[in-house]
Amino acid sequence: MNIDATPTRTLRADPARRSIDIIDQTRLPLALHWVRIASLEAAAEAIRAMQVRGAPLIGVTAAYGLAIALASEASEARLDAAIAILGATRPTAVNLHWALARLRRLLLPLPPARRADAAWAEAAAIAEEDVAQNAAIGRHGLGLLRQIPPRRGQTLNVMTHCNAGWLATVDHGTALSPVYAAHDASLPVHVWVSETRPRNQGLLTAWELARHGVPHTVIADNAAGILLRAGRVDAVIVGADRIAANGDVANKVGTYLKALACADNDIPFYVAAPRSTLDFACPDGNAIPIEERDGDELREVRGVDAQGAPSALRQLPPGEAVANPAFDITPARRVSALITERGVCPASRDGLLRLYPENFHS
Ligand code: MRU
């Protein structure tokens, strides 16, 4: 994706220094600030504090975090301790656990002296796969978008939730990849961006769409229903943090409400995700762990003050009871189709079986 006309990735790896540079997403959309990660602890903290976020990027960062951890010592004990630290950061995005398991499978049989280099190479391979898979999602999603006649005028109106874009991946995004592909192919497209309380990841979506020049409008989450009912949306595309073997989808809290409103108004509701988000070991959505985040995300509103310094405003007393589930489950029956790097399929066991036969055992 372009950042002000320059093709840019969200993560820069420096193999010589055994470090990575990431964008501190807690400072966006008000400041674009790169941060160097050169230790296991810094990688874990960046994921936990959501300096990096979005399922695919969390997975890639964890893989590099493990490679960085092994640079100083690569015993089996160190490997497992580092995996435990990184694996405890965020529970719902399966990409994190998928990446760590992939590295462990590769590294454990190797002599310790070869593990650090092998880990770095595998982290780089995961990052490259992410870029290629998201580009393929863009091509498949564009095929779908081309088949949807705009309800009003010439412009296709796509609604999304949270940020499943460039910032949530190494490049291209998942839900936004078809949007960028459409825009780059001169298909007129406009994006309704829901704010995504309480962490406001929609503001990240608006920021990156603006950098690439894609027309968009930010809405409060609660405005989605009236737009969907009024025929002002042609399709909804969201990402996913985990897709169970039956096609149930875990994604940012609020996703389910959009799927329900789509069903009530005959609007297609698509979920775009790469292989690393599919959890074939998870039978259905009930088995997906839902992250419960700190209640202060609801009690406080964050932004910058008049001088531009980061600041927090309290909107509830510290003791006020709040619940803050970070994700919800959309049942497969409410998903019109999954868009993956291998193509488009129904959100069902059979649909996934057709695209990923090697992951199902009879
Ligand atoms: O809590 P976040 O911001 O990491 O949640 C992100 C989402 O829910 C995204 O929609 C999902 O990870 C897909 S990112 C391509």
pLDDT tens by residue, 167-218 = 999 999 999 999 999 999 999 999 999 999 999 999 999 999 999 999 999 9
Location of structure tokens 């108004």 = 265
Please tell me what DSSP assigns to residue 333: G
pLDDT band at 305 (very low <50, low <70, confident <90, very high): confident
Q: How confident is the model at residue 362 (pLDDT cuts 50, 70, 90)?
A: low
The whole-number average pLDDT for the span 56-72 is 98
Which ligand 1 atom minimizes the distance to the CA of 252? 8
Ligand 1 lined by 10 (C-beta under 6 Å) = no
* 164 Cβ below 6 A of ligand 1: yes
Question: What pLDDT does residue 71 have?
Answer: 96
Residue 310: band (very low, low, confident or very high) from pLDDT cuts 50, 70, 90: confident
> What is the per-residue pLDDT for 62?
98
Secondary structure string (H, E, C) spanning 5-39: CEECCCEEEECCCCEEEEECCCCCCCCCCEEEECC
pLDDT band at 33 (very low <50, low <70, confident <90, very high): very high
**Tokens 């694996």 identify what position?**
87
Q: What is the pLDDT of residue 248?
A: 98
118-132, 135-149, 348-362: lowest mean pLDDT where?
348-362
Percent of the chain scoring above 90 in pLDDT: 93
User: Which whole number is the average pLDDT over 100-112?
Assistant: 98
Of 28-42, 267-281, 301-315, the poorest mean pLDDT is in 301-315
Q: How far is the CA of 111 from the centre of ligand 1 (A)?
A: 36
174 pocket-lining for ligand 1 (C-beta < 6 Å): yes
The residues, any chain, with a CB within 8 Å of residue 164's CB and separated by 6 or more, are 54, 173, 174, 175, 176, 237, 238, 239, 240, 251, 272
pLDDT of amino acid 308: 79
**Any idea what DSSP says for residue 169?**
S
Rounded to the nearest whole angstrom, what is the distance from the C-alpha of residue 177 to the centroid of ligand 1? 14
* Residue with token string 């074939």: 280
DSSP state, residue 332: G
User: 221 CA distance to ligand 1 centroid (A)?
Assistant: 16
List the catalytic residues: 241
Considering only residues 33 and 362, tell me which one the structure prediction assigns the higher pLDDT.
Answer: 33
Ligand 1 centroid – CA 55 distance (Å) = 5
The token pair that represents 302 in the structure block: 């964050």
- Contact in structure between 168 and 174 (CB atoms under 8 Å): yes
Q: Determine the atom of ligand 1 nearest the C-alpha atom of 277.
A: 13
Ligand 1 neighbour 95 (Cβ under 6 A) = no
Beta partners for residue 194, in sequence order: 161, 219
Atom of ligand 1 nearest to the CA of 175: 15
Please indicate whether residue 144, judged by its CB atom, sits closer than 6 Å to ligand 1.
no
| Angle subtended at Cα 335 by Cα 334 and Cα 338, rounded to the nearest 5 degrees | 165
Q: Are 342 and 355 in contact (CB under 8 A)?
A: yes
| pLDDT tens figures, 37-48 | 999 999 999 999
pLDDT score, position 304: 83
